[in-house]
A and B are shown apart, each in its own frame.
Chain A
Amino acid sequence: MRIGYYPGCSLQSSAREYDLATRLVTRYLGVQLVDIPDWNCCGASAAHSTDPFLAVALPARNLILASEMGLDVTVPCAACYHRLRVAQRELTHDRDLSEKVAEVLGRPYRGTVRIYSLLETMTGIGLEQLAAQIVRPLKGLRVACYYGCLLVRPPGIGCDDPENPESMDRLVETTKAETVSWGYKNECCGGALIFGAREVALRLVRDILRNATGAGAHAIVCACPLCQSNLDLRQGQVNKMFGTNFAVPVFYFPQLLGLAMGLNPRDLGLTTHFVDPQRALRVVGG
């Protein structure tokens, strides 16, 4: 399978291990990711809270680039995925807007690109095929699969069920890790507020960590660089602010798959986490 790849800005820096693990695991599984050349930022929540034209025009340019390559696109970041999907909807329904975008960029978007989240692309490989690649089962590891908001909402834009998504659970279960049932799997981590209204965002993070550990999880698995950065990198700030002592490692789902496929933890970027995953992995002899 060949598919266009839109990494997004975070995967070049704060979430570079998500990029590493994604490229490594997809290559291992025979999926060829083709980088969209010259891609630009999707604008994220800054654009849609500020200017409705930019909110669509910024992602639209990436869709045009992908359509010129003749490929569909897979997106590892939930926020980018959301913005690309919304832009596609708007461009299809608002002819006036799509003409304006085409005029400024000097080329039209023909609406032919299908946009997938990385989670969908990986699930699409087939659970049996994935299970066949598992050489190092993670038996004994209990994880909470965390979907967050923009990956699954709103309906029609997100993938999976907006209220009780399960695709990541099924995917992770191919590694023989156990997934817990918990109530915060699709609650928001406050990614958009972490700079502008930090005290609000950190409380959301605390509640998610508390619910995951309360459900008996050794670790959280996620599919978004903003979620991971809030839950992992800022866990120390949460502990300081609320007097808690969380030490929950937060994996990106391709990292966990790669680990179970016997790939090198260092190559999967497992040494770059704030909360060292080694302790949690000890339960599986890691």
Chain B
Amino acid sequence: MLLGGKDKPDPAFLEAVVRASGQKTLAHCYQCGKCTAGCPTTFAMDYKPNRIIRMLQLGRKEEVLGSRTIWVCAACFTCSTRCPCNIDVAQVMDSLRVIARREGKTGLGRGVVLFNDLFLLSVRRNGRVFETGLALSFNLRRKTFFRDAELGRFMFTRGKLRFTPDRPKGVRELARLFAKAEEKVEE
């Protein structure tokens, strides 16, 4: 099935992923399946982790970047801990998320990407994550206005919700880090 897909093989993609994830090679994967056996979120994946590695070996860029797998990976590093070929599978997944974002292929990861964007926006503005603001803006943007309303009420009564962000002085330094990151993406 992997040989007959509609996706045209792109060998340069494998090279790009190997480089971005800091791996020596992905060629040594012999499909033992340990990464998949230990993965806690395979039930929600379209392609299991070992198949993603195989698809990368075959240069199947579109299918990999378009998969749901990369967005439901919990980044728990069980796969990386157990791989007999020392492939840091979790790091590969991370690099795939970064590449998918840069190429605007985040269709199946919309919720995760929105959360990550709002999280970083909060860090950029405040230096530290303002949890209350983050949760509210996420719900606003997803139009799920009352999600967690009950939980929010409970947290409020226990003093676990802040109403104002805590802005350390270093926010200005962080602005420079964020600007540099944007510059690097454009390079």
A binds B: yes
Chain A residues proximal to chain B, CB less than 8 Å:
9-10, 12-16, 38-41, 43-54, 57-58, 61, 100-101, 104-106, 149-150, 153-155, 158, 162-163, 187-188, 190-193, 195-197, 199-201, 203-204, 207, 233-234, 236-237, 271-272, 274
Contact status of A50 and B114, CB under 8 A, knowing A105-B173, A154-B88: no
**Contact residues of B between 132 and 187, Cβ < 8 Å to A:** 132, 135, 138, 150-151, 154-155, 158-162, 166, 168-171, 173-174, 176-178, 180-181, 184-185
- Chain B residues with Cβ below 8 Å from A51 are 98, 120, 181, 184-185
Does the CB pair B72–A200 fall under 8 Å? yes
Q: Judging by beta carbons under 8 Å apart, are A40 and B94 in contact?
A: no
Q: Whole-angstrom distance between the alpha carbons of A43 and B128 in the complex? A: 9
Q: Chain A residues near B76 (CB, 8 Å)?
A: 149-150, 153, 187-188
A41 touches B127 (CB 8 A): yes
Bound-complex Cα distance A150 to B161 (A): 25
| Known contacts A9-B129, A51-B98: A237-B151 contact under CB 8 Å | yes
Q: Are B123 and A49 in contact (CB under 8 A)?
A: no
**Of B1-9, B23-31, B37-45, B53-61, the one touching chain A:** B37-45
Task: Report yes or no: B155 in contact with A195, Cβ–Cβ below 8 A.
Answer: no
Q: Does B97 contact A (CB under 8 A)?
A: yes
In the assembled complex, the Cα of A100 lies from the Cα of B71 at a distance in Å of 29
* Chain A residues with CB under 8 A of B155: 14, 233
Find the B residue at minimum CB distance from A190. B74
A237 to B147, CA, bound (A): 11
Seed contacts A52-B98, A233-B151, A233-B154; 14 additional CB < 8 Å A-B pairs: A9-B128, A13-B161, A41-B123, A43-B123, A44-B129, A49-B75, A49-B98, A50-B98, A51-B185, A61-B173, A190-B41, A192-B74, A199-B44, A271-B158
Give the interface centre of A47, A53, A237 by most chain B CB atoms within 10 Å.
Answer: A53
What 9 pairs between A and B have smallest CB-CB spacing? Answer: A196-B112, A188-B76, A149-B76, A46-B119, A196-B111, A153-B77, A46-B116, A272-B158, A9-B129
The size class of the interface chain B forms with chain A is: 35 or more
List A contacts of B171 (CB < 8 A): 40
Residue in contact with A149 in the complex, picked from B78, B97, B159, B174, CB distance below 8 Å: B78
A9 contact set on B, CB distance < 8 A: 128-129, 131
| A155 to B76 Cα, complex, angstroms | 12
Residue pair A188, B74 in contact (C-beta under 8 Å): yes
Taking a contact as CB atoms under 8 Å apart, the answer to whether A149 and B74 are in contact is yes
- The residue that B128 contacts in the complex, of A41, A52, A203, with Cβ under 8 A, is A41
The 6 listed contacts between A and B (C-beta, < 8 Å) are A12-B166, A43-B120, A46-B117, A49-B97, A58-B123, A197-B111
A54 touches B178 (CB 8 A): yes
Chain B positions within 8 Å of A, measured between CB atoms, are: 20, 40-41, 43-44, 71-72, 74-78, 80-81, 88, 90, 94-95, 97-98, 101, 109, 111-117, 119-120, 123, 127-129, 131-132, 135, 138, 150-151, 154-155, 158-162, 166, 168-171, 173-174, 176-178, 180-181, 184-185
A16-B159 contact, Cβ under 8 Å, with A49-B97, A50-B98, A193-B74: yes
From A13, A100, A106, A163, B162 is in contact (CB under 8 Å) with: A13
A10 touches which of B131, B135, B169 (Cβ 8 Å): B131
Question: Quick check: B166 and A154 within 8 Å, CB to CB?
Answer: no
Q: Contact between B180 and A100 (Cβ–Cβ < 8 Å)?
A: yes
B160 and A13 contacting across the interface, CB-CB below 8 Å? yes
Cα A50 to Cα B70 with chains together (Å) = 12
- B20 partner, pick from A13, A16, A52, beta carbons under 8 A: A52
- CA gap between A165 and B124 in the complex, in Å: 36
Q: Which of B90, B97, B114, B177 has the most CB of A within 10 A?
A: B177
Q: How far, in Å, is A161 (CB) from chain B's closest CB?
A: 10
> Which A residues lie within 8 Å of B88 (CB)?
154
Does the CB pair B173–A162 fall under 8 Å?
A: no
- Give the CA-CA distance A104 to B131 in the complex, in Å: 27
